[in-house]
Amino acid sequence: MRVLVTGASGLLGGAVARAVAAAGHEVRTFQRRPSGIPGIADSLGSVTDPPAVADAVRGMDAVVHLAAKVSLAGDPAEFERANVGGTRNMLAAASGLESGEPVRFVQVSSPSVAHSGASIMGDGALPADPGAARGDYARTKAEAELLALAADSARLSVVAIRPHLVWGPGDTQLVQRIVDRARSGRLPLLGHGAALIDTIYVDNAASAIVAALEHAPEVHGRSYVVTNGEPRPVAEMLAGICRAAGVTPPRVRIPASVARTAGSLIEAIWRVRPGLDEPPMTRFLAEQLSTSHWFDQRAVRADLRWQPSVSIDEGLRRLAESYAR
């Protein structure tokens, strides 16, 4: 297959592009800056630019759409343009492709599309709900997933994949923020840190997305949450990442209710006077750190015929090696 991967300059997008190529497919990437992946052709542009999208999609048999605005804060209109408008542009271009077989479209979504603040314990992919989603990122990703699934047809096989808390060496979104905050003493534990959370190592997330691409004709129209299937207490997971980076794990504890109230207040302030970096706490982040999030993986593993190949312990070992280098 000729496969377009968007957002390949990011950690997961780059891993997906390499994994798709390793599976024997011809890969083109599409993002605003070069992916830096040897042997893979880049098409530069923005998903918010329909002509650039059309040029990138032309001649492809499949699209894996990862490009998105990912942040805890920011201008709501920017989230709307990138996440909703960008997905709409990708779907329109993919729907217009001429192909003897249905065009495959993997929408890389997020479990936050179905998170309303309560614990998720053993559920599968709950319905995306923009009205209940926390924050502009989750809301617009929910809208984008619904758009994508609504476009599923005999000519366009759409699958939505929601990797949960992707991490690994080189991660600047999750790992580096945890490490930086722990190093500066700004990473508290909320409550007892006992809430169970699922995560997924980046190589496993990439291989799950490749499996969705290859099995799209059989599973189109569905959403799947993918994880390592090894839920661990949030305090244990944070400590593992910190030790891998050689920093002291968090020890200060804050009641979850206090963190949620503080998060709501900080969000309100950030909307008026945004800082240079991510806000130190938001209500969504406080909920994520204080509620359980682990998911039933039986359907995804059976339907996609996929298994994670890197355990959490092995992933932490690889992360420690990357910091040692």
287 vs 8, residue with greater confidence: 8
pLDDT of residue 283: 58
**Average pLDDT of the segment spanning 226-245:** 93
Please name the fold of domain 2-164+202-227+295-309.
Rossmann fold (3.40.50)
What is the arithmetic mean of pLDDT over 182-192?
78
Q: What is the pTM of this model?
A: 0.91
294 near 122, Cβ under 8 Å? yes
pLDDT digits (tens, 9 = 90+) for 64-114: 999 998 876 678 899 999 999 999 999 999 988 776 678 999 999 999 898
Task: Give the CA-trace dihedral at 64, 296, 114, 197, to 10 degrees.
Answer: -100
Each residue of 272-287: pLDDT tens digit? Answer: 666 656 665 565 666 6
Answer yes or no: are the C-beta atoms of 26 and 1 closer than 8 Å: yes
CA distances from 299 to 16, 112, 223 (A): 22, 19, 10
Give catalytic residues, as residue numbers. 137
**Three-point CA angle 286, 288, 294, nearest 5°:** 160
**Predicted confidence band at 184 (pLDDT cuts at 50, 70, 90)?**
confident
For residues 134-147, one letter each, b for 16 or more C-beta atoms within 10 angstroms of the residue's C-beta and e for the rest, the string is bbbbbbbbbbbbbb
Tell me what pLDDT residue 325 has.
85
Least confident of 7-11, 170-174, 243-247: 170-174
pLDDT tens per residue, range 131-169: 888 888 899 999 999 999 999 999 999 999 999 999 999
